[in-house]
Chain A
Amino acid sequence: MTYNVDENGYYGEFGGAYIPEMLYPNTEEIRQQYIRIMEDPAFEKEFNELLRDYVGRPTPLYYAARLSEHVGARIYLKREDLCHTGAHKVNNTIGQILLAKRLGKNRIIAETGAGQHGVATATVCALMGMECIVYMGAVDIERQAPNVARMKMLGATVRAANSGSRTLKDATNEAIRDWINNPVDTHYIIGSVVGPHPYPDMVARFQSVISAEIKSQLQEKEGRSQPDFVVACVGGGSNAAGAYYHYLDDTEVGLIAVEAAGKGVDSGESAATSYLGKTGIIHGSKTLLMQTADGQITEPYSISAGLDYPGVGPMHAHLYASGRGEFISITDDEAMEAGRLLAKLEGIIPAIETAHAFAIFDKRKFKKDDLVVINLSGRGDKDLQTYIDYFKL
């Protein structure tokens, strides 16, 4: 039994590649090549060097003494917020830009919600001298203005998605349409473990460096490589996939996924996919999906743009359906308070996405000696305006 992907691109019943024929040649090319490219020693060398010298890896595993004391558990933070560009997203974009180069592509497109993936994509495009177009929902362009400016500064073109709820789902639709219209020279750097096979697996592999490092860092600090629990917020699920990856089949390690409840799971304004979703197709993948009884995709809501997505990656759908993962949903208010708490206790202002993962302690109790690793997926610089408005700072 494995919780990883099978040879057909499925995690249990979830995954696959439900794409129109126009996208078949592109995804098929990646499917045939990605493992070979990623396992090529020259690729590995270039990827690892960039992660070390450019991104700043390994990121620290930090024992959060004051938070541990406050919560009553032994809590380590995996500091993805210290990556260049401020979040884990760059692990994946470094990998995919190197892949795109080897596939002979010279034009890069991406979708973004919080703007972190957009910034991480714009960054690697600048690094490699490639054209970069980022699709972003019009609502997100407003609530994540600093990241829009960063992308522009990096030379990327930001295009507004004006359909639907004008957030991450709609930006992804527009990016896919762009790819249909530009099938030959363009690579689509998807920013999470979503989309048609092999994207979920490819992105998870690029992010798996997170749990590879946790293992060796814990070994060094605690004399054991397994924590009792790994906690991560889940939008599409890439930071969680990376933090879980090397523990997926190690069932001694509890995997806790934290979703955005928005204004409450039953408020009609939520993005808690595991609670509200049913099996469906979104962006080329069979997965859990928020939808009407008629199969129309529902508009999600969260204060955090990066979690404001009506689906979840197929790996996480399977973790949920199989019971391997424990899913908790956190409201806007709970997340904001948890963000402030982390700032006060540890001097770290997290991204609002990340803050959701820190809000579970009222709902989920741990034993005093439980070893809990929380993936601190990103820093809160981009969210200052939201924090200012919320707390009247």
Chain B
Amino acid sequence: MNRIQKRLQEDKKILSIYFTAGYPRLEDTVGIIESLEKHGVDLVEIGLPFSDPLADGPTIQESSTKALKNGMTTEKLFSQLQEIREKVSIPLIIMGYFNPVLQYGVEEFCKKCQEIGIDGLILPDLPLREYQLQYKDIFEAHGLLNIFLITPQTSQERIREIDAASEGFLYLVSSASTTGAKTGFGQEQEDYFKRVAAMKLRNPQIAGFGISNAETFAQATRHTHGAIIGSAFIKHLTENGASSAGEFIKRIR
């Protein structure tokens, strides 16, 4: 069983952290992952930076631009992560846009992920149909889970379709927005999380977008299996540096 699936069987609310690889400094990647595991984070999403991150707000755009300026590349990330499995055992996901993966070669990329011990990928602009037609077999051959997003506008029918095609979890985008655009939750999000929970899907759901502190983490996980924090964590790193990663986590739980 994949590390992500194993972790999701545990009876606890998942805390997942997204950060941009190579940010604030190029060599911060591994240290941040170690510190996240040490402070009890359940799952880490390592952001492979892209020049034109369409689904991201200013915080992640800026961290991506900076990481690229620092010299981050796909090859560099893989070399930083080469020995990561000697250091941490938590599930690791690479999150990024499809073009860098396409240029690296999808097969080659997946092979490298498997060698390193990456458990899954989140590629928001690789849609379900294209994935199923062209890439599913490659991902599966390398033991990688592909995580799909659903949003408040996703129809019931499509949620079922995505659920049927998913292994691992569903990434529940909390509101119609780019990352970091809105914080906090209202009745609308609560209703949406409840509506999805009531569908009794095969896959657990983890909420993301708009979660920034203990309060929003608690709200987001009331009807879901966990929550993802991205922009708020990156802002914290910007202000306090990579060595302060643990402090941020202590404030969440």
Interface residue ranges, A against B (CB under 8 Å): 16-22, 24-25, 163-164, 169, 173, 176-177, 180-184, 278-284, 289, 291, 293-297
Contact = CB atoms under 8 A, between A and B. Distances in A.
From A16, A21, A284, residue with most partner B Cβ within 10 Å:
A21
Contact of A169 (B52, B55, B100, B102): B52
Which 5 A-B residue pairs are closest in the complex by CB-CB distance? A295-B103, A295-B100, A20-B124, A21-B149, A296-B51
Given A17-B127, A21-B124, A183-B153, A294 B55 contact: no
Contacts of A281: 97-99, 102, 125
B103 A291 contact: yes
A22 B127 contact: no
Given A20-B55, A24-B127, A294 B155 contact: no
A164 B100 CA distance: 17
A280 B99 CA distance: 6
A297 B150 contact: no
Contacts of B130: 16, 18
A286 to B, nearest CB: 8
B75 interface: yes
B18 interface: no
Interface residues of B, number: 38
A164 B52 contact: yes
A294 B148 contact: no
B181 to A, nearest CB: 6
Given A164-B52, A296-B68, A181 B125 contact: no
Interface in B100-157: 100-104, 124-127, 130, 148-151, 153-155
Contacts of B51: 164, 296-297
Interface of B: 50-52, 54-55, 57, 61, 65, 68, 73-75, 97-104, 124-127, 130, 148-151, 153-155, 158, 173, 176-178, 181
A180 B177 contact: yes
A336 to B, nearest CB: 30
28 contacts: A18-B125, A18-B127, A19-B125, A20-B125, A21-B124, A21-B149, A21-B151, A21-B154, A22-B153, A24-B153, A25-B151, A25-B153, A25-B155, A164-B51, A177-B54, A177-B178, A180-B54, A181-B181, A184-B176, A279-B102, A281-B98, A281-B99, A281-B125, A282-B99, A283-B54, A291-B99, A294-B75, A295-B104
Given A173-B52, A181-B177, A297-B51, A20 B99 contact: no
Contacts of A169: 52
B52 A180 contact: no
B99 A295 contact: yes
Given A180-B176, A291-B103, A295-B101, A22 B52 contact: no
Contacts of B148: 21
